[in-house]
Amino acid sequence: MVSAIAQAANHSISLYNAIIVLYLCYLQLICELMLVVGSMQKRSMGAQVSEVGLPAKVVLSLPHWSWHGFGLYVWVHARRFGSQPECNAATKLIVFGRELSATGSGRVVSLVFFGISATVILSVPVITLAGVGFLLVFLIKAFHPLIGSYRLSAGPRTSFIKILFVNIYITFCFLVQWIYVVVTIEQTIQRNPVIHNGPWFPITFGQIFPVVTIGACLVSIYNDLRESRREPPISQGNDPNGPIKADV
């Protein structure tokens, strides 16, 4: 992302490459979000998870701000963006398998998406220091409303089922987005030929890079699911449905 922003400032990156960068950075963002949600789940299960301070929260929020800012900049200037503005009209944006012109309807769709996404984030009082501290919590509740209302208030069996359900729900949402973005990256590369008469490879960059970079997150989610299948140890004193013992 930093390299792409610097190249955009120097007009040394094409619109096609900027689109690929936005897709790849989105993969990283959803992975980061899933890891944050996973740490919240571990805390709800009684695991000892270190609290993140305000400086760390600000640092963690920077990729989201950078991604939205760069995306808005790219699509606002899509017609004359980058090192090859004469090729921008021929660049294709893939939306649910359909080809859209990157300077026409595709630009409009992208501006609407980034505009809504940025407005949702900016609607939270993140301008203040206190608001920045709650940025990640807002993102999690926006994408996963079950997390915000979930509490370990039932018995051990009910709590275990809720934890397992939420973990499966989170994993499903992650995999759907991950598969869609990876397939879209591959379709974008295939439908925007930038190397004519070049060597043909059965496995392309759009397949290798996401698999390598996202593999660690998939392993982490798999390990979290395995842990969630074990009932969390809830003591007698913490079980609201259990009898109350008086001290003698």
Residue the block writes with tokens 């994408």: 143
- With 0-12 / 13-18 / 19 or more C-beta atoms within 10 angstroms meaning exposed / middle / buried, residue 227 is middle
Q: Which amino acid is at 178?
A: W
> 214: Cβ–Cβ under 8 A, 6 or more apart, which residues?
27, 31, 178
Q: Which amino acid is at 14?
A: S
> 141: Cβ–Cβ under 8 A, 6 or more apart, which residues?
147, 148
The mean pLDDT values, 10 residues at a time, for the chain of 248 residues are 82 88 85 67 55 65 83 90 85 89 90 81 47 50 47 48 65 81 87 58 52 60 60 47 46
pLDDT at residue 42, rounded to an integer:
58
**Which of 180, 179, 143 is CA-nearest to residue 36?**
143
